[in-house]
Structure formats: structure tokens, C-alpha cells
Amino acid sequence: MTSTGSPTRTDIADRDDIRRLVVEFYSRAFQDELLRIVFVDVAKMNIGEHLPVMCDFWGTVLLGERSYRGGAFQPHARLHEQVPLAARHFDRWLDIWTRTVDDLFEGDVASTAKLRAARVAQAFLNRLEQPASTPVCVYRYAGPATGA
């Protein structure tokens, strides 16, 4: 406790901290009018199934756990087909995430959590706003070049 009586915030250090952050974030997001429509009404998210996946994702991103398997973007692309996700959705998501991190933690990993979330939000928004006809460059390694 600090001299003002509020709990001292520490940095995100382990899986328990990740779970605490993710649980609190979704508690807040599910109460938000804009995000509740997306998460609950449209996606019909089963929080019991979703929380472990998100803990794996953030554990991988922030703690280097390598526990997350899968692609984070595709579920959002499928959701975007049902309800167009716009900048306001990602801005709200990021605002709630940032406030949750700031309310619970402080330190280098907490700062990284906010930075990485901002990058994820921007990358997802950019991909969703990209016209379907825009070519995507995919580099595939074909082995060493041979002489002509």
C-alpha cells in the first residue's frame, strides 16, 4: 500500500498477472455499449473459451511463453463480415485496454502491453480497411539461387 492507502502497482510478471489483466479487460469491455454489441450480440463470445486463448496470446506477446497457437487476425476478419469493424471500435478497445493496464500495473512490461495493443489495433484496422482487390505480397523462399 502507498501512503494514500491505494495498492502499489507492480509490473506484469507472470501468467497470473496476464490472467488478471485479461479478465478485468473483458469485464470492462462487456459493459461497454459499443463493444458489448460486437463481443456479445454478434460474436456471441463464450468467455470461458475465449479467456484462455487471450491469456495465451498476451502471454506469448508479453512474456515470451510461446503458448499461443493460431492467427489472431482471421477471427476478426470473419467478425468484420458480420458487423463492419471501424476505427471507433478499435479506439474504444484500445482505450479500455490502456485504462485497464494503467489501473492494475506499471513498469516496462505494462508499457509494452499498451504499445503492442496499439500496434495490433492499428494493424487489424489497416487490414480490414484494405480493399479485397489489393494484392498482398507474400515472399516465399525457394532455396538458394542457382547460376544461369
Domains of the chain: 15-129 (1.10.490.10)
Contact present, 94 and 29 (Cβ < 8 Å): no
Mean pLDDT, residues 7-34: 96
Range 32-57 average pLDDT: 90
**pLDDT tens-digit map of 88-122:** 999 999 999 999 999 999 999 999 999 999 999 99
The pLDDT assigned to 87 comes to: 92
pTM of the prediction?
0.80
Report the C-alpha gap between 6 and 146 in whole angstroms: 66
Region 55-83: mean pLDDT is 88
Cβ-based burial of 82 (10 A; exposed 0-12, middle 13-18, buried ≥19): exposed
What is the average per-residue pLDDT within 17-43?
A: 93
- Judge contact between 9 and 105, C-beta under 8 A: yes
Q: Which helix (H) or strand (E) holds 51?
A: helix 47-63
Q: Tell me the per-residue pLDDT of 45-58, one tens digit each, with 9 for 90 and over.
A: 888 999 999 999 99
Output the pLDDT for position 98. Answer: 98
